Amino acid sequence: MLEKPQIIDLPKILDRRGNLSFIEGAGKHIPFTIRRTYWIYDVPGGEVRGGHAYRTNREFVVALSGSFDVVLHDGIQEYRYHLNRSYYGLYVPEMMWRSMENFSTNSLALVLSSTDYNAEDYIRDFDVFKTIRKNEK
């Protein structure tokens, strides 16, 4: 059985000098060991990132600044998450079709990944994705 996407709350240290949140690497706050980190920024209004699935890579997405939507599809159903706070994030298991859209001005999307970048891990055709998902059930 494949996992479901999930919003995960992060530790939040409230302080009058400014708040602090954190994520440790080895599966303590998120369900995988962090292997890679990337971030998406300077997104022009109306642009959409993603539009693919990963065969094995799992991700955790945080809106470090501003807001955006993460749109997921499991081959049957669409899930839409509006991320707009830096003290929680969205866990995206492998084999979910994923897009990111509706970026606010100056938004910053942090993505933690469970694998190194590997172009061969990408599925870029939605019909191929749906067929693989159907055969996994």
Active site residues: 52
Host H or E run for residue 129 = helix 126-136
Residue 91 CB, shortest distance to ligand TYD, in Å, is: 17
Q: Count CA atoms within 13 Å of residue 77 on its CB side.
A: 4
- Closest CB to ligand TYD among 12 and 49? 49
- Closest CB to ligand TYD among 41 and 134? 41
Q: Mention every residue, 6+ apart, whose C-beta is less than 8 A from residue 41.
A: 107, 108, 109
Q: Contact region for ligand TYD (CB under 6 A) — 23-31, 48-56, 72-80, 86-94?
A: 48-56
- At position 13, the amino acid (one-letter code) is I
Residues found near ligand TYD in the complex (CB under 6 A): 36, 38, 49-50, 52, 117
